[in-house]
Chain A
Amino acid sequence: MKLETHAWPGSYGEEAKPRVGFFTDTSICIGCKACEVACKEWNHVPASSDGFTGHSYDNTSALDADTWRHVAFIEQRKEVGLDGAGGSLVQSATLDELIDQAGLGTYQEGDGMRWLMASDVCKHCTHAACLDVCPTGALFRTEFGTVVVQPDVCNGCGYCVPACPFGVLDRREDDGRVWKCTLCYDRLKDDKEPACAKACPTNSIQFGELGDLRDRAEARVQALVQAGAEQAQLYLHDSDDGVGGAGAFFLLLDEPEVYGLPPDPVDATRDIGTTWKAVGVAAGGLGVALAAAVFGGRR
């Protein structure tokens, strides 16, 4: 398991702290939004309102400059329990067991509705595109291995906004700067866990050292799959994925895109060599064209 990033722990030397993160186990999320509220309260994030969206209980819609935790609500028709199992007693017994014993609180009995809830957050990627493209150095890697924007440095160029493969970063309209989850950098320095994890009543949001969290997540997903939740999967836990694994990773009960997450995100910096080579060829070509145009004719 590889946790190192480009700047952590190397550039911190003795001052480096263990890399920390979130394991968000969506199978026990109850959609209470305590994380959203706690985050706003602690970080003084301005109020934001889209009104009522009509998208289940989700009225914050997406992560943005004023929403650093976002709870997604997905309603699906799914065969669950006796009614939905099409008369197969074996299948319905398995599903009931799943509900009762595996703690899969998101299954609703009765009318065959499955209700998925998931608290999304900045992923604090191992290979963070936002940090790589930031021209001012406002985005930096902390001693905890997290990714934070320095508000006193950010000049609102907006490059990180389309660079993030998850669409996390966003510019605050009236402020002009980019804002996102800091993984409660101030609380970490005080040996306190982030506000969202502290407020989560079901421990769906688990904070800790990233290595421990990955071990815990591995055990949890195996238990769920054994209990019959075939689609249960870990997301962004793998150091070999396109962002080198994330500091905030998830256990999902369906494919990532169902939750509004990209199934195979990639840090664009992986291709920076190709890109600069293309610039070199293009600049060279332009030089040749200029020389040919000026010297290649009689007048």
Chain B
Amino acid sequence: MSDSGAGAPAAGGRRSATGDEGAARDSYYGKPILKEPVWTPEIPWYFFLGGLGGASGGLAYLSELRGSEVLARRAWLIALAALGVSPVLLISDLGRPERFLHMLRMFKVTSPMSVGSWVLAGSGTTTGLAALHAMTGRLGSLARVARPAAAALGLPLATYTGALLSQTAVPVWHEARRELPALFAAGAAASAGAAATAMTPVEHAGPARRLALVGAVAELALVGAMDRRLGELGQPYHEGAGGSFSQAARGLTATGAMLLGARAQRSRAAAVLGGGMMLAGALCERWSVFKAGFQSARDPSYTVAPQRRRIAAARTRANAAAAAATGRKP
């Protein structure tokens, strides 16, 4: 029998440390343990647009309350455009698109996708009514309910997508479960602010500019927090497509925010350019998270290493408890 396993690469290109020949000791021929997601490029685009639309609804409603009609009308339009496209993206991602209504067969709190489907259905409907009212002045009584509902539903819509990713076995997503919803909320704020800043005359765009800047600062801070949380599991954010998108996201968000903060009060051109860069930055941020998940699932060492550490820690705890029980110092 030939030693055919000897040439198999160990996980992550590293050789087995135990010195065994044959199959690598820490993986099965370097093959993934998890399945990579089957989700298509529509999904990161939806994460971006759902966040944009959700936060824009809130911006529009609050601007109305403040009496900023010019800004409110544009924010409702942005929300309508973003949430009009979102269901199309999600349906086209399905393996059986004609069965999209099966998403509303039940409501399951253990499934962020189920919760999100209902939130999107409600948010899309109410945003449509609110935007129609903002444009035509019709449907007044319906809009009185729809506008605050759209604003309120926009908040979970912009954040549940973080939960959607973290409720998987993919280490780079699951271990970032405390940060991902906030990161997506920050991206939503940044993109809603940026889009409205770009589309609104500068004298009416003050709230949008402030929202964009708050979002950008939070987004950059949360990327750092997530990186610290993940430690070496966060390597997919530093290499391959996940790394490239992450770098682009940070560069575009920071540069766009600086331009928007420095010049957009006076120059519409700066508002459009800075806002555009920030939108691109928020989109790249979603793409980096999306791609990092695939990289994390593909390499078995990301799956095995933290689980091995967990086992070792549990053993240490058990030994210490046993030692304490018998009255000896551990």
Contacts and interface: CB of A to CB of B under 8 A. Distances in A.
Contacts of B318: none
A103 interface: no
B193 A293 contact: yes
B118 to A, nearest CB: 10
B38 interface: yes
Interface residues of B, number: 95
A20 B312 CA distance: 32
Interface string A112-130: 0101000000000000010
Given A136-B103, A166-B33, A257 B20 contact: no
Contacts of B109: 272, 276
B167 A268 contact: yes
Contact of B5 (A74, A132, A165, A271): A74
Given A136-B105, A162-B297, A276-B109, A75 B4 contact: yes
Contacts of A108: 1
A169 interface: yes
A278 B3 contact: no
B184 A282 contact: yes
A77 B193 contact: no
A151 B108 CA distance: 19
Nearest to A56: B4
A113 B174 CA distance: 39
A195 interface: no
Interface in B5-30: 5, 7-8, 20-23, 25-29
B62 A155 contact: no
Contacts of B163: 275-276, 278-279
Which one of B1, B59, B99, B304 has the highest number of Cβ atoms from chain A below 10 Å of its Cβ? B99
B71 to A, nearest CB: 9
Contacts of A258: 23, 25-28
Contact of B34 (A135, A167, A175, A177): A167
Interface residues of A, number: 85
Contacts, number: 288
Interface string B15-53: 000001111011111011111111100000000000000
A257 B185 contact: no
A155 B3 contact: no
B137 to A, nearest CB: 22
A283 B158 contact: yes
Interface of B: 1, 3-5, 7-8, 20-23, 25-29, 31-39, 55, 58-59, 62-63, 65-66, 68, 93-97, 99-100, 102-103, 105-106, 108-114, 117, 155-156, 158-160, 162-164, 166-170, 173-174, 177-182, 184-185, 188-189, 193, 203, 206-208, 210-211, 214-215, 218, 293, 297, 300, 303-304, 307-308, 310-311
Given A75-B23, A133-B112, 12 more contacts: A74-B22, A76-B23, A133-B110, A133-B167, A155-B100, A158-B38, A167-B297, A171-B95, A262-B33, A264-B307, A293-B210, A297-B206
29 contacts: A56-B4, A77-B21, A77-B22, A111-B1, A135-B108, A137-B106, A157-B94, A157-B103, A158-B93, A158-B95, A162-B37, A164-B169, A177-B95, A177-B96, A257-B304, A263-B308, A264-B307, A264-B311, A271-B166, A276-B109, A278-B182, A279-B159, A282-B162, A286-B155, A289-B211, A294-B63, A294-B68, A299-B203, A299-B206
Top 7 closest pairs, chain A to chain B, by CB: A156-B95, A176-B95, A260-B28, A155-B99, A293-B211, A135-B114, A282-B181
